[in-house]
Amino acid sequence: MRMKQMRTVITGGAGGLGLATARAFLAQGAQVLLADLDAPALIEAQRQLHAPAGDLQTACCDITEPADCERLVAVAEEGLGGPIDVFVANAGRPFGGPLEQAEPTAIRAVIDTNITGTLLSAQAALASLRRSPRASLLLTGSLQSVLGRAERSVYTASKHAIAGMVKSLALEWGPLGVRVNGIAPTLVDTPFLRQAYAQAGIEVAQALTRAAQSLPLGRIPTPEDFAHAAVFLASEEARAITGHMLMVDCGASAGKF
């Protein structure tokens, strides 16, 4: 029970990486509040997790709205019974395709969610986190936090920003008692990834097979791989780790394979 009674908030928690992280944290004894913009998906996530009402709660939240972020923190403190111990800023928006064909509204949506929304939600959480003796902020990055990729310029820019946030906030919030780390997976078979493929007109099954074959380990990470990394980084076992981007990428970032 490495996360026993740790009050945890997970944005983008209704599916994919967020849902897997919630499941892993609950299994380790945490109390979890799932936040997402999709209310029906939150209801389904709660049904899938089968957790006691006191251990699992949900809240609708648009992380691009400062008032929503402030409300989320207030709801979390009231519902979980104290300051937030772990805040997982996981909500994000996919994007694929050549920059020359990208609509300005689509570009702004990615930047607003992946950069501005992450900053606003972290900002709102700080006052709560700094009152916890074991505070940890986890940001969801990507392989595109450290590498570039053709026809992913907008998404890559947004995820490079996450790597910068991890370093800067670790320096800024360390003296306040808050550790800040990132988790950077490569392609993971989630609804998020499938949506990105669909937007780019790519056939999903073939793309996943090719992706697995391109990695040194011969497979792509699962949502559970991401969740286990999150458990470790939020636990006391990682109490000396901050400002770090943990690559969960089956070797993709090691070099050309």
Q: Active-site residues: which are they? A: 155
CA-CA distance, 140 to 162, in Å (whole number)? 7
Q: Say how many C-beta atoms besides its own lie within 10 A of residue 240's C-beta.
A: 6
Nearest to 20 by CA among 155, 189, 165, 145: 189
* Sheet-wide strand order for 7-11: 56-60, 31-36, 7-11, 86-89, 135-140, 178-185, 244-248
CA dihedral 178, 182, 188, 190 (to 10 degrees): 40
Element (H, E) at 31: strand 31-36
Burial 151-167 (b: 16+ CB within 10 A, else e): ebbbbbbbbbbbbebbe
